[in-house]
Amino acid sequence: MIRVLVVDDSAVMRKLITAALSVDPELEVVGEAGDPLLARDAIKALNPDVITLDVEMPNMNGIDFLERIMRLRPMPVVMISTLTARGTEVSLAALELGAVDCIEKPRGSDAEGFRMIAEKVKMAARARVRPRDSRPVPACAGAFAPNDRIVAIGSSTGGVEALLTLIERLPADCAPTVITQHMPATFTRSFAERLNRTCAATVTEARDGDPLVPGRVYVAPGGERHLEIEGKAQLRCKVTQGDPVSGHSPSVDVLFASVARTVKARSLGVILTGMGRDGALGLKAIRDAGGHTLGQDEATCVVYGMPRAAFEIGAVERQLPLEKLGPAIRNLTNKETER
């Protein structure tokens, strides 16, 4: 049984969430709390496996409480709030702090919304949550000049925190980098802006026709779209409408396959934390084309699903801890290390 603590200032919403979770035979609601101070005591007394957490609450807001949880007692947290639908900055802040997922608070008649809470809680229970690393980002050492490689990165659950850790370790003139992170359409532009504020390179949401140039990082737009690369003398982003591939749009497999097809041996594919198998076949295509491939190791993944699937089919050349992936990308894309 997965033991759940429901934290929400609304007694009605606590009852609705509890009722929805209690229907699932794998879930047991062991307690409820109306504010973070009560929740703190409940965590100590009940030792839940997962917490559902509201954002707007008395005494302390949910984001501040989440920061304390991740610093003092890391555990899987699913944010459930009206703010997570319209307040993308709030959602991204929660994911950056280590929340496993953020979902919109359902209305009382939204049966599908409440069913989704149960699925997200079960997924969160399988996540590996680590204490946040508050150490400063190490400065890039040594000379760097980009070679002719193109970097493609794919991620899902836990990817917001992982990408922030990885991208901020890249140099200002990094190799052209394209990213597909499973994320709603309303999130991706804000996420790109958030990455841009924390790293030396320029990060933007990819637009159709954007040229791939050094010092630029392109994030796939969310929603029913896919990011690919195309071109010969000048590589460009290609953003197209499309049905889900490997269960997702945007799809990591679609991005990786286009990189393998277009760049071949000059490609570097990196697969990060996430649930499912999206990206495994595409990463294998990159390796088969002669490109380098890296995978995040199990110990540092929030969910070791996508990297595991890729590793099991021989798509991953090397598995590395998250904090070593940035330096590895730097070395593989550095013209200076080839001399």
Phi, psi of 90 (to 5 degrees): -65, -45
pLDDT surpassing 90 at residue 55: no
Q: Do domains 2-125 and 150-338 have the same CATH topology?
A: yes
Catalytic site residue from 91, 155, 156, 246? 156
What does the pLDDT read at residue 75? 96
Domain ranges of the chain: 2-125, 150-338
Q: Which of 182, 226, 248, 292 is catalytic?
A: 182
* Cβ pair 114, 106 in contact under 8 A: yes
Cα–chain center distance at 241: 22
CATH 3.40.50.180 for domain 150-338, yes or no, is yes
Distance between CA atoms of residues 316 and 281, nearest Å? 11
pLDDT tens-place string over residues 148-175:
999 999 999 999 999 999 998 899 999 9
Tens-digit pLDDT profile for residues 85-116: 556 788 889 999 999 999 888 877 788 888 99
What was the pLDDT predicted at 135? 58
Q: How far is CA 279 from the centre of its chain?
A: 14
The confidence score (pLDDT) of residue 319 equals 98
Q: Which residues contact 99 (CB under 8 A, 6 or more apart)?
A: 53, 66, 77, 78, 79
- DSSP label at residue 314: T
| Per-residue pLDDT at 89 | 83
92-95 LR contacts (CB < 8 Å, sep 24+): 92/160, 92/187, 92/190, 92/191, 92/194, 93/63, 94/55, 94/62, 94/63, 94/66, 95/160, 95/161
For 237, the 3-state DSSP assignment is strand
Residue found by looking up tokens 């041996």 in the block: 265
The pLDDT of residue 339 is above 60: no
Tokens for 9? 């200032």
- Reported as type and span, the H/E element at residue 191 is helix 185-198
CA distances from 131 to 9, 46, 75, 297, 320 (A): 26, 20, 9, 17, 19
Tens digit of pLDDT for each residue in 243-295? Answer: 999 999 999 999 999 999 999 999 999 999 999 999 999 999 999 999 999 99
Q: Is 156 a catalytic residue?
A: yes
The mean predicted confidence, pLDDT, of the chain is 92
Report which of 225, 221, 222 is spatially closest to residue 207, judged by C-alpha positions: 221
Q: What is the pLDDT of residue 85?
A: 54
For residue 137, the model assigns a pLDDT of: 59
For residue 279, CA distances in Å to 38, 175, 236, 274 come to 42, 21, 21, 10
Give the tens place of pLDDT for each residue, 17-41.
999 999 999 999 999 999 999 999 9
CB 66 within 8 A of CB 43: no
| Continuous segment of H or E residues that includes residue 11 | helix 11-22
- CA distance from start to end of the chain: 57
Q: Which pLDDT belongs to residue 64?
A: 94
pLDDT tens-place string over residues 194-213: 999 989 999 999 999 999 99
* Spatial CA neighbour of 220 closest among 137, 305, 156, 289: 156
Cα→Cα distances 2→25, 42, 210, Å = 9, 16, 46
Six-digit token string for 278: 């999206």
- Residue 97 tokens, joined: 């702090």
> Are the CB atoms for 99 and 66 separated by under 8 Å?
yes
Does 117 score more than 60 pLDDT?
yes
According to DSSP, the β-strands at 225-230 and 236-241 are: antiparallel
pLDDT of residue 133 exceeding 70: no
DSSP string covering 27-77: EEEEEEESSHHHHHHHHHHH--SEEEE-SS-SSS-HHHHHHHHHHHS---E
Name the CATH superfamily for 2-125: Response regulator (3.40.50.2300)
Residue showing tokens 């637009």: 207
Among 329, 333, 288, residue whose Cα is nearest residue 310 = 288
Q: What is the largest CA-CA distance in the chain?
A: 66
